[in-house]
């Protein structure tokens, strides 16, 4: 079961996520699910009026529905410690992440931040240093890596059950940007605007999830990559399709593809890992199943909650087998991980009792996006990737 005994509910503030936002609502549901976190304050939108309106719609008291994040930061710091928010969730468009995150971290407030974490590797490195210095918890919502069976996959791969890893494939198929609907759609609008989304289009929005999934399941470090970015929809300013050949330190190879113009594909993220002793495959749209193939044995289908699962998967599971868990539950696992670490720090412990993706995952993701774009503009065959060695967790 995914819960520990709560001393009290943690208090969450939120920046972004007001009217019309998609991901903010997901964060609120994920935080609420397990009854450990209370949503108490917000600076929910870019204008004071909209922020106030959004706060009322969500039941925030007016005095904690702030007109902007600066007001929230100072307002909360002015409160007595036993009322103040314990952490802030940052769910604004990407270009605001850095500034907001930096300010809250500097104030010693824990952070849960959407991905991609920031726009540039330099910003990411600065933030990582600051997080280290301040000793705060900083989770980045690479939610897909928090699915129970991805944690099972990770435990099996790192435990050597597949042998030495030879080949990795991560695919992320979407079709919702197949036509030039960008202006009529709030989500599409900012996600395809370089100023707000960052330099990567599909590669930043979804490719970075695929990269993080490879990294967290296999622990492999990228040595070099060769990327082909495309923009198929006329007038679009960012890539909407990417194919990347990967070479890892130690000789493993891989392919990462992501596309947002594949009509009919919804949110079809897939991971396959092939080793010298076996392989595994997983699909996000059918997340309660993990396909495991060991040499010369019939295929095995592991199910969430079913037989033969390890501790990591079990710790991330709420329901018995056959009672499916899905996207929000995985997302909530990131919150449970961050919350557990925050509680641990409150109790004077430095280690997190549960895994979650950290600022190091965020940093690595931003580096990856930069290198993919660099490669796509280069005449060189391979673009070297000198990953800092993050001690990330799932």
Range 344-383, binding a second copy (CB under 8 A): 378-381
Q: Does 161 bind a second copy (CB under 8 A)?
A: no
Please name every residue paired with 196 in a beta bridge, in sequence order, or none if there are none.
none
The reply to whether 35 sits near a second copy by the rule CB under 8 A is yes
Which residues in the 94-123 window bind a second copy by CB under 8 A? Answer: none
CB of 142 to a second copy, least distance (A): 15
Q: Does 292 bind a second copy (CB under 8 A)?
A: yes
Cα–Cα distance for residue pair 82/378, rounded to 1 Å: 54
What is the layout of strands, in order, in the sheet containing 253-259? Answer: 289-294, 278-283, 268-275, 165-173, 253-259, 241-248, 222-230, 383-384
Among residues 7 and 77, whose Cβ is nearest to a second copy?
7
CB 44 within 8 A of CB 55: yes
Q: Which CB sits closer to a second copy, 303 or 314?
A: 303
Contact between 62 and a second copy (CB under 8 A)? Answer: no
Q: Which of residues 326 and 384 has its CB atom nearest to a second copy in the complex?
A: 326
Name which position in 195, 249, 321, 346 contacts a second copy (CB under 8 A).
321
Question: Is residue 184 a contact point for a second copy (CB under 8 A)?
Answer: no
Binding to a second copy (CB under 8 A) within 3-22 occurs at 5-6, 8-9, 22
Binding to a second copy (CB under 8 A) within 69-98 occurs at none
In whole angstroms, the minimum distance from the beta carbon of 286 to a second copy comes to 7
Residue with tokens 């993919």: 372
Considering only 318, 341, 343, 392, the residue that binds a second copy (CB under 8 A) is 318
3-state SS, residue 250: coil
Q: Determine the Cα–Cα distance for residues 15 and 293; give it in Å rounded to an integer.
A: 44
Q: Which stretch binds a second copy (CB under 8 A): 93-101, 293-301, 335-343, 352-360?
A: 293-301
Residue 296 binding a second copy, by CB under 8 A: yes
For 32, the enclosing helix (H) or strand (E) is helix 23-33
Q: Which of 205, 211, 312, 329 binds a second copy (CB under 8 A)?
A: 329
Q: Which of 241, 312, 361, 370 binds a second copy (CB under 8 A)?
A: 241
Task: Name the one range near a second copy by CB under 8 A: 122-130, 318-326, 336-344, 345-353.
Answer: 318-326
Of these, 266, 349, 386, 388, which contacts a second copy (CB under 8 A)? 266
3-state secondary structure at position 391:
coil
What is the closest distance, in whole angstroms, from the C-beta atom of residue 56 to a second copy in the complex? 8
> Of 19, 29, 158, 189, which one interacts with a second copy (CB under 8 A)?
29
Minimum distance, C-beta of residue 386 to a second copy, in the bound complex (Å)? 20
Binding of residue 158 to a second copy (CB under 8 A)? no
| Closer Cβ to a second copy, 63 or 232, answer by number | 232
Q: Work out whether 310 is an interface residue with a second copy (CB under 8 A).
A: no
Whether residue 282 contacts residue 154, with contact meaning beta carbons closer than 8 Å, is answered with no
Determine the Cα–Cα distance for residues 373 and 230; give it in Å rounded to an integer. Answer: 11
Residue 125: C-alpha distances to residues 100, 334, 359, 387 (Å): 15, 22, 9, 12
Dihedral (CA of 93, 95, 99, 102) sign: positive
At residue 316, the 3 state secondary structure works out as: coil
Q: Tokens at residue 98, please?
A: 């850095």
| Closer residue to a second copy (CB): 167 or 345 | 167
* Integer Rg of the chain from CA: 20
Decide: is 142 part of the binding site for a second copy (CB under 8 A): no
Which distant-in-sequence residues (6+ apart) come within 8 Å of 340 by Cβ?
Answer: 4, 352, 353, 354
Q: Is 193 a residue that touches a second copy (CB under 8 A)?
A: no
> Quick check: 36 and 9 in contact, CB under 8 A?
yes
- Minimum Å gap between C-beta 376 and a second copy is 10
12 close to 86: Cβ distance less than 8 angstroms: yes
Q: Is 174 in the site for a second copy (CB under 8 A)?
A: yes
Could you tell me whether strands 110-113 and 87-90 are parallel, antiparallel, or unpaired per DSSP bridges? parallel
Asked if 50 touches a second copy (CB under 8 A), the answer is no
Instruction: Quote the tokens at residue 206.
Output: 């979804």
Residue in the block written with tokens 């890596």? 145
Question: Which of 79, 102, 134, 166 touches a second copy (CB under 8 A)?
Answer: 166
């Amino acid at each position: 079961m995914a819960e520990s005994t709560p001393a009290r509910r943690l208090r969450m503030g939120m920046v972004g996520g007001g009217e019309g936002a998609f991901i903010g609502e997901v964060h609120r549901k994920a935080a609420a699910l397990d009854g450990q976190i209370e949503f108490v304050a917000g600076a929910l939108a870019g204008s004071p009026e909209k922020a106030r309106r959004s706060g009322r719609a969500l039941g925030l008291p007016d005095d904690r529905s702030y007109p902007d994040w600066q007001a929230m930061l100072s307002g909360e710091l002015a409160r007595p410690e036993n009322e103040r928010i314990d952490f802030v969730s940052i769910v604004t468009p990407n270009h605001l992440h850095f500034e907001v995150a930096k300010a809250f971290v500097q104030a010693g407030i824990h952070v849960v931040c959407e991905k991609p974490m920031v726009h540039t590797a330099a910003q990411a490195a600065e933030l990582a240093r600051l997080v280290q210095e301040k000793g705060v918890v900083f989770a980045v919502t690479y939610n897909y890596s928090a699915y129970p069976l991805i944690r099972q996959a990770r435990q099996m791969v790192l435990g050597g059950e597949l042998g030495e890893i030879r080949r990795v494939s991560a695919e992320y198929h979407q079709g919702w940007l197949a036509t030039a609907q960008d202006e009529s759609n709030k989500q599409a609008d900012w996600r395809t605007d370089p100023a707000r989304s960052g330099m990567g289009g599909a590669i930043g929005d979804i490719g970075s999830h695929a990269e993080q999934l490879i990294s967290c399941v296999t622990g492999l470090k990228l040595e070099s990559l060769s990327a082909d970015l495309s923009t198929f929809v006329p007038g679009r300013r960012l890539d909407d399709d990417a194919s990347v050949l990967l070479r890892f330190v130690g000789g493993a190879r891989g392919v990462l593809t992501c596309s947002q113009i594949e009509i009919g594909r919804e949110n079809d993220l897939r991971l396959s890992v092939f080793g010298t002793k076996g392989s595994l495959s997983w699909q996000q749209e059918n997340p309660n199943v993990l396909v495991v193939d060991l040499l010369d044995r019939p295929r095995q289908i592991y199910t969430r909650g079913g037989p033969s699962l390890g501790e990591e998967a079990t710790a991330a599971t709420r329901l018995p087998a056959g009672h499916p868990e899905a996207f929000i539950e995985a997302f909530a696992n990131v919150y449970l991980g961050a919350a557990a670490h925050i509680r641990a720090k409150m109790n004077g412990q430095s280690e997190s009792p549960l895994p979650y993706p950290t600022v190091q995952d965020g940093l690595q993701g931003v580096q990856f996006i930069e290198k993919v774009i660099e490669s796509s503009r280069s005449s060189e065959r391979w673009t070297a990737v000198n990953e800092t060695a993050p001690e990330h967790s799932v």
